Structure 1
Amino acid sequence: MAVAVKRKAPAITLEEMELRRKMVRSAFRSNAIEGLRPNPACQPVFEAFIAGEIELAEMLPRVKAILGTK
């Protein structure tokens, strides 16, 4: 039997989500210029930021925790 999953409405507007998506892409491009690539384990953090589930100030501590570089 299939269970319906109700998705939570985003806490931010679609325009804000697109702005955040552009910010993340820009950071990826900037890092790529330096020869760095995003770690796939950090992807959920970036997605949470884009979706408005966390704020920018919360991203770095979460990424550092995942990478073990506190």
Structure 2
Amino acid sequence: MQASKNNFSEKKSYLSNNTPFQLLKYMMKIWEKKAIKEKTDKLPIIIPLVVYHGENQWNLRTFLGS
């Protein structure tokens, strides 16, 4: 994972149904760090980006909702 101020990217070379949950976990870590370090309840908007470079076509859901 590479992170900057309000976004991060994840590079994937394989398909995984857990990718949305992995991104959510990363986002939670960023929010927790900010809340603890700055003692604030104002959390930044995070824009996650997945860069897929696997051999097979990406055919997984791209969102958490149904």
TM-score in terms of structure 1 length: 0.38
Larger RCO of the pair (alpha carbons < 8 Å, separation 6+):
2
**Higher strand share goes to which structure?**
2
TM-score in terms of structure 2 length: 0.39
**Higher helix share goes to which structure?**
1
